[in-house]
Amino acid sequence: MSNNTGRMYAGANMYDFCINGGGMVGAATALGLAKKGYRIAIIEPNMPLPFERESKPDIRVSAISQTSVNLLDTLGAWRHIASMRVKPYTGLSVWENTDSRTDFTAKSIDMPQLGYFVENRLIQLGCHQALAQYDNVVWFTQDKVTTMSIGPSGATVKVGNHAIEARWIIGADGANSQVRNVAHIGQTGWQYQQQAMGILVEMAHKTDPITWQQFTPSGPRAFLPLFGRYASLVWYDDEIVLKSLKKLSSTQLKAKILSAFPAELQTNNDFEVLDWASFPLTRAHANKYVSQSAILIGDAAHTINPLAGQGVNLGFKDVGALLDCVERCSDVRSVEFSKRLLSDYEAVRRKDNLLMMSAMDGFYALFSNANTFVSIARNKLLELVQGLKPLKKQVLAYAIGVQKWK
């Protein structure tokens, strides 16, 4: 752990950073700041359940890009995550009609894998395990925030009987961010017409490390391979359709899956439905990421259509940019650091996140249009991309975060 000298504290409740939210992104942020020697308070009243190796996977799973893995490795969390259970994937296929299929491979960009499928809880647990070595991190897990005030020179938070004072408060508290609301930061966005259902299945045989997504008139159908013989299916559809599916038995739901999903799912590999849950799809973008002593990060700043699995990866990019700002400035209580947050964090991340959000919206609009001519056009587009190897490499490298768009 690095040592920062010259930092004075008026009392035990004084911190450089208070992070509201100890989830994946919040815990990763805390790790980076703790490594730099700053005094951190983390508020997380909903701690994750411990890992049990024999338990089935959780419903909530993320596609973690190689760039995010590199960040988590640098922070010291990835070894803890990998010691639990992860599933590397080396291929990604997208199609509407089988004759207009586009395939992306890790080999095409000289990578051993495109990323990993990991349960969200295990990413969180891995970060928490890495944080355990730091004595400059204080957790508040027993109570929720009762009051919060945010001003230009700091923030005060009341958690149970504890009063926390910090120079900066970081909102890593999700789409309904309390920090964002108290800081009076507005946002724009909407809820999509479709929702998504995550379905945990156990396959009869081990699956290939390839994820795929087929577009249909009612919404995409996706397959995510998990560790062992487990896999996650994602069924996008109208809210009414998914409500009816949620009420079915596992046997009935399997029959519906077999009729709705492509042949790739069934070919020589039977499966058993274990669990399922649905969730709404929203887009939201904060008007600012920094206001007075508040900093927004991850879903508190932006939520995105999950079509390409970019949500938490954008959050980890936020973490990297914020830690770079801290690295460039010796005093986080200085005016210089406040200026850097606006120029090197907010301006850079808002632009990049907006670009990805707009790209996903365009993708969603293109593939949710049932017009015959639009359908023909998008299939021709997939055929074109499949044949243009340089373009495929550029798209793939940008999507997994190893290269900026040219």
AA letter at 189? G
- 396 in any annotated domain: no
Taking the CB of residue 303, how many other CB atoms lie within 10 A of it?
A: 22
Closest CA to 21 of 127, 153, 165: 127
Q: What is the DSSP string of 107-153?
A: GGGT-S-SEEEEEHHHHHHHHHHHHTT-TTEEEE-SS-EEEEEEETT
* pLDDT at 401 (0 to 100): 58
| Distance of alpha carbon 225 from alpha carbon 118, whole angstroms | 10
* pLDDT at 5 (0 to 100): 29
Query: Which residues of the chain, if any, have pLDDT below 50?
Result: 1-10, 388, 405-406
Look up the CATH number of the domain holding residue 155. 3.50.50.60
- 194 in any annotated domain: yes
Q: Which residues pair with 178 in a beta bridge?
A: none
- 33 in any annotated domain: yes
* pLDDT at 389 (0 to 100): 55
- 217 in any annotated domain: yes
Per the structure block, which two tokens stand in for 379?
């299939």
Distance of alpha carbon 264 from its chain centroid, rounded? 27
What residue numbers bound the domain in which 345 lies?
A: 14-366
- 7 in any annotated domain: no
Q: What is the pTM of this model?
A: 0.89
Q: How many domains does the chain have?
A: 1
Per the structure block, which two tokens stand in for 8?
């004075």
Residue with tokens 């992306």: 104
Q: Which residues pair with 22 in a beta bridge?
A: none
Cα 389 to Cα 76, 104, 370, 385: the distances in Å are 35, 10, 28, 7
- 240 in any annotated domain: yes
- 82 in any annotated domain: yes
- 392 in any annotated domain: no
Per the structure block, which two tokens stand in for 223?
């397959």
